[in-house]
Amino acid sequence: MNRLLTGMIQVIQEVDTNTGFAVCNEKSCPTMSAGRYVPINEHYCFTTLTSSRLTYTWLEGGRPAKIPAPAYITRVQKWIVGKIHDPATFPTDPPTSVASTAFASGDTSSPATYSTGPAIAAPPTSLSAPLSQLSGQQNDWVGKSSGFPPNFHADVRSIIKQMFRCYAHLYHGHWESPFWHINRHLELNSCFVHFVTVAMYYDLLSRKDMEPLQGLVDIFVGQGVIPREAVQQHSG
Ligand SMILES: [Zn+2]
């Protein structure tokens, strides 16, 4: 999913030989902006309601900062790659060793346990587990059975949210130029449909976060390109 988005981002990072700048540069896109799209025809052309134009900010030293779109996108890409390769988020060890490490330490709240804790060969045993774990439910989380840490769901949600923002900028800032002009707009659509279908099906994106491209999503849902099942699973 990240590979598809990266491919589309590369389109706007391509340097225009006439100007010597990337299509998406600090002058063309001084902020990471998106808007609310109102579809005006069947070619998915959009007008933007400037009144509801929104700008994404990046947290810098705990404070939101408006940075140019290309810088924002580069940071998102680096951050996502870092997350994907972070064993605390996506463990590379087999589930049993993750489980035994977690149980042995008795500290399921610290994600660092997964990356720094020693691999314990002994199988997980209920005798060494804290009482709270024996009682069930309390320590259940999405992805637990597959060996993913407790913060897994929240991490995936924040990755999806940032990826969505990149799509919002691609559509808002670059739908016409370059995508439409170089005839790659349908490719952008299919990457976005794939992304948003997965995000909705696994309920990883809030309705509020989806708002900047809601008009587009509605069209794809109406056309059946985004399957009904995904819509039904999406509670927002
Ligand atoms: Zn841009």
- Tell me: the pLDDT tens digits for 24-73? 999 989 989 887 554 444 444 444 444 456 889 888 888 888 899 999 99
Q: Which of 13-17, 34-38, 105-109, 138-142 has the highest mean pLDDT?
A: 13-17
- Distance, in Å, from the CA atom of 161 to the CA atom of 134, rounded to the nearest integer, reads 34
Q: What separation in Å is there between the alpha carbon of 206 and the centre of ligand 1?
A: 24
162-184 average pLDDT score: 91
The two beta strands, 58-60 and 46-48, are unpaired
Look up residue 63 and give its two tokens: 């404070």
* Per-residue confidence (pLDDT) for residue 109, from 0 to 100: 41
In single-letter form, the type of residue at position 82 comes to: G
Would the pLDDT of 179 be above 50? yes
3-state secondary structure of 109: coil
- Distance, in Å, from the CA atom of 38 to the CA atom of 169, rounded to the nearest integer, reads 15
Q: What separation in Å is there between the alpha carbon of 53 and the centre of ligand 1?
A: 14
Q: What separation in Å is there between the alpha carbon of 56 and the centre of ligand 1?
A: 12
In single-letter form, the type of residue at position 22 comes to: A
Query: Cβ distance 149 to 111 under 8 Å?
Result: yes
User: Degrees (nearest 5) of the Cα angle 166, 172, 177?
Assistant: 105
User: Degrees (nearest 5) of the Cα angle 53, 227, 44?
Assistant: 40
State the burial class of residue 4 (Cβ atoms within 10 Å of its Cβ: 0-12, 13-18, 19+). Answer: middle
Neighbours of ion ligand 1 (CB under 5 A): 24, 29, 69, 173
Q: What separation in Å is there between the alpha carbon of 199 and the centre of ligand 1?
A: 23
The confidence band for 16, taking pLDDT boundaries of 50, 70 and 90, is confident
Q: What separation in Å is there between the alpha carbon of 169 and the centre of ligand 1?
A: 6
- Distance, in Å, from the CA atom of 195 to the CA atom of 209, rounded to the nearest integer, reads 14
Q: What separation in Å is there between the alpha carbon of 7 and the centre of ligand 1?
A: 15
Q: What separation in Å is there between the alpha carbon of 97 and the centre of ligand 1?
A: 44
How far does CA 22 lie from the centroid of its chain?
A: 24
Q: What separation in Å is there between the alpha carbon of 8 and the centre of ligand 1?
A: 12
In single-letter form, the type of residue at position 232 comes to: Q
Residue 109, φ and ψ in degrees, nearest 5: -85, -20
State the burial class of residue 72 (Cβ atoms within 10 Å of its Cβ: 0-12, 13-18, 19+). Answer: buried
Query: Cβ distance 120 to 100 under 8 Å?
Result: yes
Q: What separation in Å is there between the alpha carbon of 158 and the centre of ligand 1?
A: 21
User: Degrees (nearest 5) of the Cα angle 31, 9, 156?
Assistant: 85
Q: What separation in Å is there between the alpha carbon of 204 and the centre of ligand 1?
A: 25
> b/e map of 122-146 (b: 16 or more CB within 10 Å)?
eebeeeeeeeebeeeeebeeebbee
Contacts of residue 200, defined as CB under 8 A and 6 or more positions apart, other chains included, come to: 226, 230, 231, 233, 234
Q: What separation in Å is there between the alpha carbon of 21 and the centre of ligand 1?
A: 12
pLDDT digits (tens, 9 = 90+) for 127-163: 444 444 444 445 677 788 888 888 888 999 999 999 9
Q: What separation in Å is there between the alpha carbon of 25 and the centre of ligand 1?
A: 6
pTM: 0.75
Q: What separation in Å is there between the alpha carbon of 103 and the centre of ligand 1?
A: 47
Q: What separation in Å is there between the alpha carbon of 208 and the centre of ligand 1?
A: 22
